[in-house]
Structure 1
Amino acid sequence: MKIMVALSGGVDSSMSAKLLKDAGHEIEGCYMKLHEKPGYHEKNIEKVRKVGEFLGIKTHILDLQDEFRREVYEPFVRTYQNGLTPNPCALCNRTIKLGKLLEFAHQNGCERLATGHYVRVENGLLKKARDESKDQSYFLANVNPNALKSMIFPLGEMLKSEVKAKASAYPELIEIASQSESSEICFVDKTYIEILQRHTNTKTPGVVKNTNGEIIGTHEGYMHYTIGKRRGFRIDGAHEPHFVLKIDAQNNEIIVGGRDELDTYEFSTRNLNAFVSVDEILNAPNLGVKLRYRSTKIPVKIALNERGGVNGVLSYPANGVAGGQLAVFYDEEDRVLASGFIE
């Protein structure tokens, strides 16, 4: 089988290509230029070319900077401007990696596209990786369900430690195997505020209110805060920690309260990206939901809403549910049934 492998210059994608080539497949690699961070692409492209030479495979450089800016970067900025918390990786996986790159693979005669994501596919559904500490099913849960038919995830059944050990057996890959992990958001060097400041004025002082609507302090500008944050604002006469509960972008206000006020039993989504029929999702036994990448799966009951999404009621409260994040619904076997962006 002819397979395109997404190569980043890191150990996961490099070993994905090696494993598939050793299995007898015809392999080509592709590096994606997604953003304009100075010096970022040059060093990675050099690594990708070295991996290509070592494996004896053709490597492509695909410039998707315009598409990435339109589909991922600009929505990232707009989401913060709207007082929400964006999930750029979920957008990128849908429109870029399992979108434009998959199209490129097919255009080059490849039957499948492989990536170094830690995730499995079972009966046509995404499933949590064997290595739960590296599982990326959450970030892939927004992809077009049809794309999964063309995908291979060689690392889904492996532990990260096993991948690095295998890579270290090859001198050409030792340097890659020992390199530090990449950042979660590839175009953010230090903080997201540095990105926003290039496009908008983030320093717009405003007031802090409690849940009764009373002004109790001041803040630096609403874009500096996300749900659950407890620092960076001033509360008059506060003796207990306060946490951001809500962001009012239109009025440049943040609403704060105690830790227990972050807990919520209910949430809603504005869309439903379904991998099975809606009836199967609504009637799935022991349905669970993850509301952030590092959160635990919580049992949930859901019903459709008039906005094309769902309303969910949790069996126990979640802490700091943030609009703009992805709600990912799993069945009892840890397979992804659907996802939707939290309102």
Structure 2
Amino acid sequence: MKVALLMSGGVDSSYSAYLLKQQGYEVKGFYLKLHDKEEKHKIFINNCKKVAKNLEIDFEVLEAQDSFRQKVYNEFIESYKRGETPNPCALCNPLMKFGFALEEAFKQGCDKIATGHYARIAQIDGKKYIQEARDKTKDQSYFLYAISQDAIDALIFPLGDMLKEEVKPKAFEAMPWLGSLETYKESQEICFVDTDYINILKKHLEVEKEGKVRDLKGNVIGTHKGYMQYTIGKRRGFNIKGAHEPHFVLSIDPQKNEIVVGKKEELATFSVTALNKSLSKDFKDGEYFIKIRYRSIPSKAMVTLKDDKIIAQLKEPAYGVAKGQALVVYIEDKVIGGGVIL
């Protein structure tokens, strides 16, 4: 069986290639060239080539920069412009990694597609679903909520049952030459951001325009550095006159370049609405677990699907619910769908 492996040039995907070969698969490595950071691409492509040569697998670079810019990067910029907090990885996965790359893999005769993601595949009544990884601290199921059923049916996650801390030692033991791979300076989780997303926005938008800070009553109580520099729940970076306790961003008004702040208890919400992206039409309203951010703890909620909206009524209050982030619905540890928070 032929498997397309999406390679990043790092240890996780390199060890995934090794494991797949050990399991008897014919492996074809693909590197997705998405963003415009050529220094990164050069280093990681060279790493992939070294891995492919040592493991004797085919390797190919897929050029997807134009498509990525149009479908993911530009939406990232526009989302901040609208006063939202985007989730580009959750958008990239269905459109690029398990959209564009999956189609190319099938064209080249691959039966399956694999990645170094920390996630698993599980079945409920014969249907496959994304499942949380064994390592809950590294679980990436949240970012995979919107990928197609065709992608899920073809997916293999070689690292899903492993702990992150054990992968590197095992990889270096199996492939001593991995130590010669080049590394890139530490980056944020978003592939095209090296230091701060503000540096990306500055290339396209005016992000440092001072604006007013208001309280819930509409009183002007301070100033901020530009609305795009804030997300719901942020508690720093703005000036409040005579404040003696922490204030948090409660809402953002992009048209007026204003933010509203308040105390933590004013940040609490028991209801979250999202634009449905992947809950099936036969979804049954009821109690489920939900996540409203990648690092958030799963919360119990009554979830209903009404037209194209997912409405979650939480048992306990959520804090820092931001437009543009993903609302992901789980049955225990299995992803059944989700949407973009409105």
TM bucket normalised to smaller: over 0.9
Matched, 1:155 2:156: no
Work out whether residues 126 and 137 of structure 1, in 8 Å CA contact, stay in contact via their aligned partners in 2.
yes
What's the CA shift for 1:275?
5.5
What's the CA shift for 1:205?
1.4
What's the CA shift for 1:146?
2.5
Q: Which residue identity does 2:327 align to in structure 1?
A: A
> In 2 relative to 1, CA 168–52 (structure 1 residues): closer, same or farther, beyond 3 Å?
same
Matches within 5 A, 1:195-274: 195-274=200-279
Query: Which sections of structure 2, spanning at least 5 residues, go unmatched?
Result: none
Partner of 2:139 in structure 1? 135
What's the CA shift for 1:177?
11
* Number of residue pairs the alignment of both structures matches: 337
What's the CA shift for 1:276?
7.7
> In 2 relative to 1, CA 299–177 (structure 1 residues): closer, same or farther, beyond 3 Å?
farther
Matched, 1:342 2:336: no
Work out whether residues 16 and 154 of structure 1, in 8 Å CA contact, stay in contact via their aligned partners in 2.
yes
> In 2 relative to 1, CA 118–299 (structure 1 residues): closer, same or farther, beyond 3 Å?
same
What's the CA shift for 1:66?
0.5
> In 2 relative to 1, CA 45–203 (structure 1 residues): closer, same or farther, beyond 3 Å?
same
Q: Which residue identity does 2:293 align to in structure 1?
A: R
SS state at 2:337 partner: strand
Work out whether residues 209 and 254 of structure 1, in 8 Å CA contact, stay in contact via their aligned partners in 2.
yes
SS state at 2:53 partner: helix
Query: Which sections of structure 1, spanning at least 5 residues, go unmatched?
Result: none
Distance between the aligned counterparts of 1:178 and 1:102, measured in 2? Answer: 27
Deviations 1:190-213 (A, max 9, x none): 111111111111122111110111
Distance between the aligned counterparts of 1:78 and 1:275, measured in 2? Answer: 28
Partner of 1:145 in structure 2? 149
> In 2 relative to 1, CA 88–178 (structure 1 residues): closer, same or farther, beyond 3 Å?
closer
Q: Which residue identity does 1:128 align to in structure 2?
A: E
Distance between the aligned counterparts of 2:316 and 2:237, measured in 1? Answer: 30
Partner of 2:293 in structure 1? 292
Q: Which residue identity does 1:305 align to in structure 2?
A: K
Q: Which residue identity does 1:225 align to in structure 2?
A: Y
Work out whether residues 36 and 65 of structure 2, in 8 Å CA contact, stay in contact via their aligned partners in 1.
yes
Aligned residues: CA RMSD: 1.6
Partner of 1:187 in structure 2? 192
Identity of aligned residues (%): 48
Work out whether residues 11 and 177 of structure 1, in 8 Å CA contact, stay in contact via their aligned partners in 2.
no
Q: Which residue identity does 2:23 align to in structure 1?
A: A
What's the CA shift for 1:304?
2.6
TM-score (norm 2): 0.95
Partner of 1:80 in structure 2? 80
SS state at 2:232 partner: coil
Work out whether residues 167 and 177 of structure 1, in 8 Å CA contact, stay in contact via their aligned partners in 2.
no
> In 2 relative to 1, CA 184–233 (structure 1 residues): closer, same or farther, beyond 3 Å?
same
Q: Which residue identity does 2:204 align to in structure 1?
A: H
Matched, 1:305 2:281: no
Work out whether residues 266 and 312 of structure 1, in 8 Å CA contact, stay in contact via their aligned partners in 2.
yes
Q: After the TM superposition, which segments of 4 or more aligned residues of structure 1 sit over 4 Å from their partners?
A: 175-182
Distance between the aligned counterparts of 1:147 and 1:196, measured in 2? Answer: 32
Work out whether residues 47 and 182 of structure 2, in 8 Å CA contact, stay in contact via their aligned partners in 1.
no
What's the CA shift for 1:305?
3.3
Partner of 2:37 in structure 1? 37
Distance between the aligned counterparts of 2:282 and 2:119, measured in 1? Answer: 22
Work out whether residues 266 and 311 of structure 1, in 8 Å CA contact, stay in contact via their aligned partners in 2.
yes
Distance between the aligned counterparts of 2:204 and 2:305, measured in 1? Answer: 37
> In 2 relative to 1, CA 301–96 (structure 1 residues): closer, same or farther, beyond 3 Å?
same
What's the CA shift for 1:89?
0.3
Deviations 1:88-134 (A, max 9, x none): 00001010001101011111111111100011111101110011111
Q: Which residue identity does 1:300 align to in structure 2?
A: A
What's the CA shift for 1:303?
2.0
What's the CA shift for 1:183?
3.0
TM-score (norm 1): 0.95
